[in-house]
Amino acid sequence: MLIRNRLTIIFTLLAMAIQVTLSLLVWYFYSLYRQEEFYSRLEAKARVTGRVLISRRHLHDDFFKNMVRTDLLSIVEEQISIYDSRHNLVFTNRTLKDSDYYKEKIENLVTSNSLVEFKNGHLESIMLLFQDRGQRFYIFASGYDRIGFAKLGTLQQILLLANLLGFALIVLAGWYFSGRVLKPISQIVDEVEQITATRLDKRVDERNRRDEIAQLAMTFNQMLFRLEDAFVSQRSFVSHASHELRTPLTNVLGTLETSLRYDQNPADWRDSMEIAVDELKRVIALTNGLLGLAKVTGSTLTLTSTQVDDCLLTALGQIQSKYPGRNLPLQFVTTEEEAFTIKGNMMLLITAFLNVLDNACKYSDDAVSVLLEARNDQITVVVTDKGVGIAETDVAHILTPLYRGKNVGSVPGYGIGLAVTQKIVELHQGSLQIASSVDQGTTVTMILPRYNQTA
């Protein structure tokens, strides 16, 4: 169901519930008012009748009929009955069908010593005590409030028509205002539909930048900025990868074609093949790096309890074999046993440490210091070298795949290692920080969350 339809229905139901409730309250309280007003008329009629008939001793029908003809308080189906203190009927203008019923009401009046109000079929009745010259009389008055019920019926019809008309108006108003409220969202939808992969530079109108819809538009724009950056990075990555792959393959092709045309002896063929093999090794290394990056980028890891110090020592051992004689001092800082435990993947962590250590050794001829520290809820691995460093303009892009600093010279590499390391650290809910100065060296800091086995 469309949100506009849902809002209209909810608004209509709420408004109609309030309107119907108010209408019922109006009808109910007017009904009470009509009843009390009619009982007041009956009481006034009974007291007037008592003063006229009892006080003046005119308890006969002729006098009562004359009084009725001049009475402005005449009541439909009016019945007046008077009982003496012995509960004997001394006057009535109509024949009583159930005298015992009225005598029972007299008993209630004697008990309560006040006015008694009650209903008898469609008639509403009262009975009150009237005293005259020391004598007690019980006056019974009843009748049908035709005018009051007619007014109540008219009010009921008015309220019914008003509710029907109100329902129609509420539906129209709900439909109109829900459309007004949702119009900015519809405009955002239209604007977003115009944004494609080739038009990521377009943005959604953020309007007043204050309400929730403006916040939605701002969120869309932030997402579009990230998408645009991702597409730009992807295009740059594809361009760099194509270039890096094309160059050695072109070299291989050129070498083999030259050898095919001009080499005449086995020694020349061997030299050409060695050149081709070296170039193919570059292609394989680059391809493996790209595959590794793709693997860690899209992987969902099964993490287990892993010792960071064991992973780091394994990586140091492999680097020591690759760079024999290189000084790689390692410093541990911890105050707890098993302080270097995390939830992680051992092979990926070793790969991350290898990439950082290999870069440090490639770009520095001096010692590379390694610090492993456990503090509070995190483990920190810091690798520091005194090599060529990274220019300030390159630091912001150094984690981009296939990006290399401008001052690396002829040092072999493809700019993939740090990108892979960053992805691995992020997969372990950690962070990677790089600080560097040209000709001063580089410090790479990897921060990983500790695993509390007792928790």
Domain segments of the chain: what residues?
Answer: 3-151, 212-295, 299-449
pLDDT value at position 233? Answer: 67
Q: What percent of the chain has pLDDT over 70?
A: 80
CB contact at 8 A, 26 and 18:
no
Residue 66 has pLDDT above 60, yes or no: no
**Cα(283)–Cα(291) distance, integer angstroms:** 12
Q: How many residues does the chain have?
A: 455
Residue 117 has pLDDT above 70, yes or no: yes
What does the block give as tokens for 251? 């070299």
209 DSSP assignment: S
pLDDT tens-digit readout, 325-375? 888 888 888 766 667 888 888 888 888 898 899 888 888 888 889 999 988
Which are the contacts of 453, defined by CB distance < 8 A and separation ≥ 6?
305, 338, 341
Nearest-10 Cα torsion for 101, 102, 103, 107: 100
What does the block give as tokens for 200? 């990521």
Choose from 79-88, 287-296, 414-423 the range with maximum mean pLDDT: 79-88
Label residue 254 by pLDDT band (50, 70, 90). Answer: confident
Determine if the pTM surpasses 0.85.
no
Residue 318 has pLDDT above 70, yes or no: yes
pLDDT tens-digit readout, 197-248? 777 777 777 777 777 778 888 888 888 888 877 777 667 666 656 766 676 7
CATH of the structural domain 3-151, one choice from 3.40.50.300, 3.30.450.20, 1.10.10.10, 3.10.129.10: 3.30.450.20
Which are the contacts of 428, defined by CB distance < 8 A and separation ≥ 6?
303, 342, 343, 344, 345, 348, 349, 448, 449
pLDDT value at position 101? Answer: 66
The amino acid occupying position 38 is F
Q: Which fold has domain 212-295?
A: Helix Hairpins (1.10.287)
Residue 25 has pLDDT above 80, yes or no: yes
Average pLDDT over residues 23-49: 91
CB contact at 8 A, 416 and 292:
yes
**Cα(301)–Cα(303) distance, integer angstroms:** 6
What Rg value do the Cα atoms of the chain yield, rounded? 50
pLDDT value at position 169? Answer: 92
**Cα(207)–Cα(344) distance, integer angstroms:** 46
**Cα(363)–Cα(388) distance, integer angstroms:** 6
The amino acid occupying position 97 is K
CB contact at 8 A, 125 and 42:
yes
What is the torsional sign of CA 186, 189, 190, 191? Answer: positive
Q: What percent of the chain has pLDDT over 90?
A: 19
Q: How many CB atoms lie within 10 A of CB 344?
A: 26
Burial 17-41 (b: 16+ CB within 10 A, else e): eebeeebeeebeebeeebbeebbeb
Lowest mean pLDDT among 51-65, 248-262, 390-404: 51-65
**Cα(155)–Cα(147) distance, integer angstroms:** 12
Residue 61 has pLDDT above 60, yes or no: no
- Taking 3-state DSSP, the helix, strand and coil percentages for the chain, each rounded to the nearest 5, stand at 55, 20, 25
pLDDT value at position 198? Answer: 72
**Cα(297)–Cα(420) distance, integer angstroms:** 8
The domain defined by 299-449 carries CATH number 3.30.565.10: yes
pLDDT tens-digit readout, 7-18? 888 888 999 999
pLDDT value at position 90? Answer: 81
Residue 104 has pLDDT above 80, yes or no: no
